[in-house]
Amino acid sequence: MALISPSEKDFITKGIEADMRNDGRSRIAYRDFTIETGIVSQASGSCRLRLSKTDVLIGVKVEIGDIISNTTSDNNNEQEQDIVNNQNESDKGRIVCSVECSPSASRDFEGKGANDINNELSQIMNRVLNGPQGGIDLKSLCIIPGAQCWIIYVDVLVLDYDGNLLDTIFLATRAALQNTRIPKTEIQDIGNGQLEFDISDDIEDAEKIKGWEDVPVTVSLNKIGQKYIVDATAMEELCTDTKIIIAVNRNGEICAMQKSLYGSLNPSLLTEMIRTAKDIGKVLIKNLDTTLEHEQVMASRANNKKFGFFI
């Protein structure tokens, strides 16, 4: 378990009260991030995002699956059953997320140590993305109502860790979903009320996911002492006693909110945090979208030549 000395903790806390963090940022300043999309050829969409040293790789795969409604109970997949339990309609697809923290990212992630954090992050992602607050139009993922739908599997691999894991994951997820292409399906009626569908093999025919622009990003606010900071580094996270995660979409609506860690906070501070998160979230999404557009432009100019991966 990572430890921090009391003097270091005191140094960081006093610096934050004076609005000066160890790397010179103010309390509400974000670090710069670099992004690459479309790097994994086998996935329907992918993205790699680096927020300073925190490094996350997301692969999105779309697969055809059965629509599991509330009445059937023969599904053995616990995770999918949980998601379905929260849905009622039989004309929606679903998104299944899983997070894996690679042991090479941090000593804490070795062996069973990562299980808790993997479960927690996967649960948060599933909760935010499945539902109208997740932005994605789940009805558009349905192929044959009551029978078949597209299932979007979002798999996150954490390659390196320097704090603020959840924000990085959501930023990268939004970029990966923008990059994902779903093959076009043609539905044919073969009589007797039965429907069959064909998947088009043409890559050019694949469509973007409807509603990717409304996918929210999270802003993690860490309370240290009596003030709070955004985008904490690993050391600053060790000084935190309360952490609030707020998911914001591009319209400034709150899509999810959750508190973690062991402290408590004043309602007035919580209110202030929500307002700050809303502003920061909107700016983050704007920055991300601009970066993605820029990347598209560069890619089209360079004729899709990709150089090296771990640069």
Give the footprint of another protein on this chain (CB under 8 A).
70-71, 73, 78-79, 81-82, 85, 88, 119-120, 123, 127-128, 131-133, 244, 249, 252-267, 270-271, 274-275, 278
Length of the chain: 311
CB of 251 vs another protein, minimal distance in Å: 9
Q: Which is nearer to another protein, 264 or 304 (CB)?
A: 264
The answer to whether 165 touches 158, Cβ cutoff 8 Å, is: yes
The CA distance from 144 to 102, in Å, is 37
Query: What torsion do the CA atoms of 275, 288, 212, 202 make, to the nearest 10 degrees?
Result: 180
In the complex, least distance from residue 128 CB atom to another protein, rounded to whole angstroms: 7
Taking the least distance from each CB to another protein, the nearer of 58 and 128 is 128
> 175 vs 221, which CB is nearer to another protein?
221
Q: How far is the CB of 177 from another protein (least distance, A)?
A: 17
In terms of CB distance, is 90 or 296 closer to another protein?
Answer: 90
Q: Which residues contact 237 (CB under 8 A, 6 or more apart)?
A: 163, 164, 222, 243
Q: How far is the CB of 297 from another protein (least distance, A)?
A: 32
CB-nearer residue toward another protein: 132 or 294: 132
Q: Which two tokens stand for residue 69?
A: 């409604």
**Angle, vertex CA 178, rays to CA 307 and CA 126, nearest 5:** 115
The residue type found at 155 is D
- Six token digits for residue 311: 């640069």
CB of 123 to another protein, least distance (A): 5
